[in-house]
Amino acid sequence: MGDCITISASVQVRAGPEEVFALVSDPPRKVRLNPNVRVLRVELEGGGRVGEGAVFYHRLAKGTRLIEYRSRCVRYAPPRLFEIRGETDPPFEVRVTVEPIPEGCRLTQEERLEVTPSLLDALEPAEAEGRPFWEALGLLALFPGSRRLASELRVHQRDRLARRLTRELQAWLDAIKAHLEGGDAAGQRHTA
C-alpha cells in the first residue's frame, strides 16, 4: 500500500454558485478548461444526466502520455458539492465545493490519490532532469544498507509530485475563474 497525497486549491469567482456548480459538475465542460492536458474525449457514459452514479469516460493527453480512465460521481448536492472517484488502481477522489460569498463564490477542489512507488515513477515528468537517477532509485531497494536512503528519496519524490500537482490544479481553477468571469480565450484551445 502506498502513501496518500492530498492536494487542494481555491479561487474566488465573481459568479453565482449555481453557474459555477453547473460548470464544475459537468466533467466534459470542466476538463476542456484544464491548461495541463489536451482533451481527446470526455463523455457521460450511457447518456442521461449528471448525478450520483453517473460514469464518465476520460481520454486525455499530457505531453506524450495518453491518460485514459473512468470516474464515477459518488456525491452530487447542487449547488455546493460534487465528488467523483476514479475507477483506477489505485483509485483517486476529487471533491469540489462551491461556497457562496458576498462577491460571488469560493470554488475549492481537493484531490486525494494513493501513490505507490510505481505510480510515483510513472507520474514523473517525461522530460525530468535526472531521470536516470530516479530509475536507479528502484535498484537501491535491492541493497539492505540503501533501503533507508531509498525511502527518504521516495518521500522527496512524493512531496515534489504534490507540489507540481497543486500548481497544476491552481492553474486549472484559475482558468475556470477566467472563463466564468468572461476573460477566457484559453478554454477554447483545449477542445478536440
What are the pLDDT digits (tens) for 47-99?
A: 888 999 999 999 999 988 899 999 999 999 999 999 999 999 889 999 999 99
**Number of domains forming the structure of the chain:** 1
Contact (Cβ atoms closer than 8 angstroms) between residue 39 and residue 185: no
Residues 2-15 pLDDT 10s: 588 999 999 999 99
Q: Residue 191 domain-assigned?
A: no
Q: Residue 168 domain-assigned?
A: yes
Cell of 74: 459518488
Q: Tell me, what CATH number does 65's domain have?
A: 3.30.530.20
Q: Residue 190 domain-assigned?
A: no
Cell of 101: 460569498
- Band of residue 190 on the pLDDT scale cut at 50, 70, 90: very low
What's the pLDDT at 135?
Answer: 56
Whether 24 shows a pLDDT value over 80: the answer reads yes
Q: Residue 109 domain-assigned?
A: yes
Going through 36-173 in order, the beta strands assigned E by DSSP cover 38-44, 55-62, 65-77, 81-86, 92-101, 104-115
Residues 144-166 pLDDT 10s: 555 565 677 778 888 988 999 99
Q: Residue 176 domain-assigned?
A: yes
The boundaries of the domain holding residue 147 are 3-185
